[in-house]
Amino acid sequence: MPDVSGIRRLHRERFGQEPEVFMAPGRVNLIGEHTDYADGFVMPAAINFATLAAVSPAADRNATLFSRNFNESVSLSLDLIGEHGSHHWSDYPFGVLSVLQQERISVPGFHLTLDGDVPLGAGLSSSASIEVASMLAMLHVAGVELPLPKVALLCQRAENDYVGAPCGIMDQFVSCCGAADHALLLDCRSLGYRLAPIPKHLSLVICNTMVKHSHAGGEYGTRRAEVEEGTAILRRHRPEIRLLRDATVDDLKRWGHEMPPNVLKRCRHIITDSNRTVAAADALEAKDLATVGRLMAEAHASYRDDFEASCPEADIMVELANKLEGCVGARLTGGGFGGCTVNLVESNHAAQFAASISAAYEKATGIHPEIYQSRASAGAHKVGQDVVVSHR
């Protein structure tokens, strides 16, 4: 987590005011990819990489942002926020402000300082952590409290409409509602959830392939369109199918021949991965780690072969992980097309696992990876005066 005392000091130096500070974590998804916008199930965990937002009121009607990561300041009149972004980092906080304005929540002028250590473009949801931290900060200066699930929905809307990235609800929801030492099984239709314990003798080792991706368009948008095409075909036969959450593997067996081959594969991944996700939560609760590992392996194969959202580097990383001592399960996580793998590793082997996989991956690909060791962490909240030392 970034340095709390550092962001307080930076904010005081720039704006001459003592801020309140809010934290929102990134996330790693243990299982369930691209199932969220199909109203299916996902099982992410919040991680101890986060965005901090320091905020104080301004005397004028401007929203002034400073990003420590980009070393850049941006200021806009509250009357000029608009409804669409400009493909700039400020789209995330300004998008949040735009949505709050649409909700008729009167946010006065403010100064906002942002600092985060969620790796960008790695599939660990840096965007959601920025949105959630920014929204909690803006709600504070507005004097308004909202339930965290509502905050998640509004942040998702900001990313969908203002940023232009067609994400589902998972990233923002777990950033808001994650819990220490637990994964979160989320029903993306009802937003009901239950916590699945991650045994304390296991660590989350996240391996960054260093292959970057963007969700705003490109392959992510193409896959989502393919899923919608398949859903529409099934709906012709079963009108009660609103989204793939309502469809079954048997439906694909009956009517999949009407779909283009790529569309059939996309739908098969989402339906089966949603089923695997519920099974993995049950296995965690039962402390059946062998089943968790098997389901993660099946999920990666489906993501690679049916959704075709992996890449050679990620496949190599997963293959290497499964050969190392202490590895319970490994798979590509996040939106796909690069990013990170998530590995459940016995904690007493985690340090050696990290060193071994880094060396082996670099030898195989010529790319030096970044390896992050984490535990499942708490969701978004206001941060007290205590100092948190950065681990960057």
- pLDDT digit string, tens, across residues 78-90: 999 999 999 999 9
SS3 108: coil
Cβ proximity of 113 and 53 under 8 Å: yes
The b-or-e profile of 230-248 (16+ CB within 10 A means b, else e) is bbebbeeeeeebebbbbbe
Tokens of 202: 């296991």
Please name every residue paired with 220 in a beta bridge, in sequence order, or none if there are none.
none
Beta strands in 150-199 (DSSP E): 182-187, 193-197
Inter-residue contact 136 to 24 (CB < 8 Å): yes
* Structural class in CATH, domain 202-374: alpha beta
Query: Residue 108 above 50 pLDDT?
Result: yes
Residue 385 pLDDT: 63
Residue boundaries of the structural domains of the chain: 4-197, 202-374
Tell me the CATH number of domain 4-197, given options 3.10.20.30, 3.30.230.10, 3.40.190.10, 3.30.300.30.
3.30.230.10
pLDDT of 217 strictly over 80? no
Mean residue pLDDT across the chain: 93
Contact between 344 and 294 under an 8 Å Cβ cutoff? The reply is no
Over 80: is that where the pLDDT of 247 sits? yes
Given this model, what pLDDT does residue 181 score? 95
**Could you read off the pLDDT of 269-284 as tens digits, one per residue?**
999 999 999 999 999 9
List pLDDT tens digits, range 319-357. Answer: 999 999 999 999 999 888 888 999 999 999 999 999 999
Catalytic residue IDs: 171
